[in-house]
A and B are shown apart, each in its own frame.
Chain A
């Protein structure tokens, strides 16, 4: 059997690992007790989550007048946060599905956590449109079910309904994809479990997986086809989110460039979030041998590429706003009017965080520096939040009637709900990191002989 790979490719698993070492390394965070750092972060996240939950309860009890929305700005932080969270989710599917189709092996060390991030981010995203409905108890009206109003159906012409279908399909298909991939790894934990409770829980989760040759054949077919389905799905989801804006007749929103530009922006922000999470996770769970500097660098390169697409889109929007010569276009979110108007700070926050600072990744020294990567990734997260804030608030704060021009100010409840989703997301991710195999170890074992450091060195000796 040949396990040859060109020596120019850097090893994806460093250290002198055997199959058993991989098992031990991946099972360790689950089998060991949590450290102090984990408990501190968990409690901090829990406090934020509970506070945010209180703010949501207050919103539902009082109505969405509790937020900073007004007659001109009828969308504010709610939809900003919704789009931000959905966008973050996209990197997970890109890594697990698109890179699987492209046979990118580096995906195997990061796909599990990236997919977890996707699912948890979509949960946060879904909160916003639901509470934005105001009367959440009739939220089920968005589904086309026979009802007592003479079967008045949902409106399939509306992008808002397309969004219902897109987001719910995205959530459930990502979860299925993630779970199916987890089954062999749960079986590994089950077979190592020492306490009866652990054994029971992982027996429940691993569905009796045994690793027969036929089952592996079906498993590989399943993951391949699910990846094939998830790839157009991920593009369709953010395209549909962009339709929420692009199919309207609001200046700045009614733009044909939105679908590709939103998808690129989503991947851009998603990869930044993957970097933020994984740089911490690899340190805490001691996964430096699996998530190597090479993995970090290659993800930074994806950030450069998608960041470049976003830059081009911004330039187009800015140019068109000026070139149209329309008075209304002079206060869309990317226009000379926005750069100098009352929201100049939001405009420049976007430009600096999304265009200027990520350009530092063009330097190899910076994109292979862990601290720099972490800081820049955080800045991109902030920048992408500002992008959505600008699209919504700058565009609609100055509408067609100068007498109704007004600023948007978030209320304490707005801020609380947003912080709450960050807390909720962190709670889910921290629990995941302690109970789930954070790396797809079965898949990783299949490339150990191809891309493990020891084996690569051996191959090279034989070829000389």
Chain B
């Protein structure tokens, strides 16, 4: 494989991995607080739509990202109202969130941009090459990303360190492991879950913003295309640790990116094999055939005083 092809592969791997990484980091925070957020897909989609619409109407990519973060926070808050405040079933509420985002973005897209949506492309977020590093052979693309891309990788130690070493992170993990014990220690379980879901929504929506204003430079109905569910898988395969999640996101990003370079690589395996690989791997990890992934003890359970 030539260095050029390797660099091209890395570039598309990063492009595929960034939204997955952001959404999975969000899911990590939610799951560590005890909430299994099936609605990740809807949060990605909502973020993608908000970012593109606002960026297009205002002419500012930064405003677009801000709008995505706001929409993500709102969706996270809405989910928290149901699963943290009302103790609704997390799977059902998350599924509803996905449907809601699909419906509303679809209707709004048509309303704002008409039927055809022609000429809907924007000048996306610019890549910011780091002088000296971006021209490195093979590894160059890593140092030639958009601000969102750099932020996604910078967030890995931030989120990981915060969860592991800060008081807030400790409280959040307590809520996920044993909410009753946390409550006796004076931790407001519902408020922590609300905060976790708002953070999760913002991160997932940032991933969506990356899709619409840094990758596709347009919006397409349902453009999240199952990435929210791959992010769920990444959290499991990454063993619910931030560095593990980054590795898993890069691997799954690579598996997805292969389809764009399929002919250049001349692989004999059908590309669908690489598309289902993340899901098969997740099942194997869950079944304990590839190292056990322990879930927070109270994951998925509503908290009742």
Q: Are A and B genuine complex partners?
A: no
Q: A interface vs B, CB < 8 Å?
A: none
Binding site for A on B (CB under 8 A): none
